[in-house]
Amino acid sequence: MLAKAHYLIHFGVIFLVSLSAVLNSYLMHKKIKAGNLSALNHFIERSVVDNPVYHAYSIFTGTNNGYGFYGINVATYKYFSVELYDRDKKCIAKTHTFGFKKQNNLARFEVLASRIANYIADNEEFPKEGDKELLKARKLYVNEIFKHIGLYEKEVGIYKSLALSY
Amino acid sequence: MGYFSAIACFRIAVATLVLIDFCCVFYELKIFASDQAILPLGLGLIQTEYHTLLSPLYTFMTDHNLSITVFMTAVSILYLLALVFCILGFHTRKSFFTALILQLLIFRSIPNFNYGYDSFITMSFFYCLLFPVGTEYALDSYRKGENRSRRKMPSRYFSLPFYLKTHLCIVYFVSGLSKVLDPNWWDGNAIWRAYDDLSPALYVPPFLLATLSLSVVSIELLYSFLVCTKFRKVYGSRYGSHPFGHRDIFGAVFLCSSCV
């Protein structure tokens, strides 16, 4: 009985949350902010996703994601590229692999590029009536990410290896 | 193959895959998580649900001049050790619990470098913790000297294959549903976008892209029904091995789950 209850609750919640994630992507893609679908999505988010007990359980069980792999609005391949210029504006170094030797790790790093690209797109579509301070913080976050990636190349990556080779 | 042997194979396959993948990560761990990481851990955690959980730890370490490199290296070595114990089936439940906690600690500290594979690994570890995966091909079975004939088959609602099958049904159905809602999956545009790092010299006719797209959508939506038929093994193996871009290891995890 207990096993059956766990099975039903575990998978019932996973299905509901996954469905909500798909619904959320669809509504965001179609820019739908009102209506029955939107209300249903808000209800699932408020009653399940935002529940602290579910939140802890989902982190521990790895079920806190939506499974909409390459689903709505598939993004193109994204990657970071850093170019270093000298004072004469001559490109002295360039990289998009950031010293990663393993393809698997580079694939992990490219996840950040996709996330930041989505983040920038969301910032550009940020509602005009929205919180100005929030938008400012979001833009600052993007700048900080780019700054650290650029600085890493200057202090640890290709620039340092160039300096050592001279 | 019997039930207990099958779930033991799942244990060995998953833990071995994770060990291989983590050896790769460990090789370049300093770029992901160290004092000289490409992104400070605190900055990476902002905008994620793990911020309130993990940020105090790293703030404390930074404030007290404790080395994140040393901490991450120690945690990673413990994780590798736990994985070896999981493969060998030595104190299996304790090893999987340790591996699960350490996996969460390591990978949720760098959420910007996580993808679906990491959640699948957490899920697989949770199932290995829940089910008796250390009763066959494990040091535990020799250590405890358990009588095999006394083992009882679990109920349908508490068997690992049934859990994995249900989980994969939900995964594929929801994934198929999200694809069917996007017109780009009807004309092949989405599949072209997903593989647009192909050489420009390679031309793929639009009708072929559309056929591939529709096949992917159909396979995903029909998985829940076909998995109950005799085509399950072939279907699962074929589809489980499909590539996720450069993330072949992700496909390998699906393959493990499909084959049990």
From the list A65, A98, A106, the residue facing B116 with the nearest CB is A65
Q: Which helix (H) or strand (E) holds A106?
A: helix A103-124
Least confident of B119-128, B161-170, B183-192: B183-192
Contacts of residue B80, defined as CB under 8 A and 6 or more positions apart, other chains included, come to B19, B22, B23, B26
The answer on B164 and B98 residing in a single domain is no
Asked if the ipTM is above 0.90, the reply is: no
CB-CB contact of A45 with A20 (8 Å): yes
Which of A69, A81, A138, A140 has the highest number of chain B CBs within 10 A, making it the mutation to test binding with B?
Answer: A69
From the list A100, A111, A115, the residue facing B28 with the nearest CB is A100
The answer on B258 and B198 residing in a single domain is yes
The answer on B163 and B50 residing in a single domain is no
C-beta atoms of B49 and A64 within 8 A: yes
- Residue B147 above 50 pLDDT? yes
The answer on B165 and B127 residing in a single domain is no
The answer on B129 and B36 residing in a single domain is yes
Chain A residue with minimum CA distance to B53: A56
CB-CB contact of B127 with B96 (8 Å): no
pLDDT tens digits for B55-83? 888 888 888 888 999 999 999 999 999 99
Mean pLDDT of A43-50: 80
The answer on B136 and B103 residing in a single domain is yes
CB-CB contact of B45 with B109 (8 Å): yes
The answer on B164 and B65 residing in a single domain is no
The answer on B165 and B132 residing in a single domain is no
Q: Structural domain tally of chain B?
A: 2
Residue B236 belongs to domain spanning: 156-260
> Mean pLDDT: which of A110-119, A122-131, B9-18 is highest?
B9-18
Chain B: nearest CA to A106, how far in angstroms?
A: 9
Residue where one domain finishes, among candidates B148, B171, B187:
B148
C-beta atoms of B123 and A63 within 8 A: yes
The answer on B130 and B39 residing in a single domain is yes
Chain A residue with minimum CA distance to B168: A67
> Quick one: pLDDT at residue B126?
95
The answer on B160 and B144 residing in a single domain is no
> Quick one: pLDDT at residue A157?
61
From the list B167, B175, B184, the residue facing A68 with the nearest CB is B175
- Residue B171 above 80 pLDDT? yes
Alpha carbons within 13 A on the beta-carbon side of A30:
15
Rg (CA), chain A: 21
Mean pLDDT of B181-202: 78
The answer on B133 and B57 residing in a single domain is yes
> Quick one: pLDDT at residue B241?
43
> Quick one: pLDDT at residue B235?
56
Q: How far apart are CA B98 and CA A128, in angstroms?
A: 47
C-beta atoms of B28 and A101 within 8 A: yes
Mean pLDDT, rounded, of chain B = 84
Which of A1, A74, A77 has the highest number of chain B CBs within 10 A, making it the mutation to test binding with B?
Answer: A74
Residue where one domain finishes, among candidates B118, B148, B178:
B148
Residue where one domain finishes, among candidates B148, B171, B190:
B148
C-beta atoms of B108 and A59 within 8 A: yes
> Mean pLDDT: which of A112-116, A162-166, B201-205 is highest?
A112-116
Chain B positions in Cβ-Cβ contact with residue A152 (cut-off 8 Å) = 38
Chain B: nearest CA to A133, how far in angstroms?
A: 15
Which stretches of A54-134 are assigned E, i.e. beta strand?
Answer: 82-85, 91-95
The answer on B184 and B118 residing in a single domain is no
Q: How far apart are CA A156 and CA A151, in angstroms?
A: 8
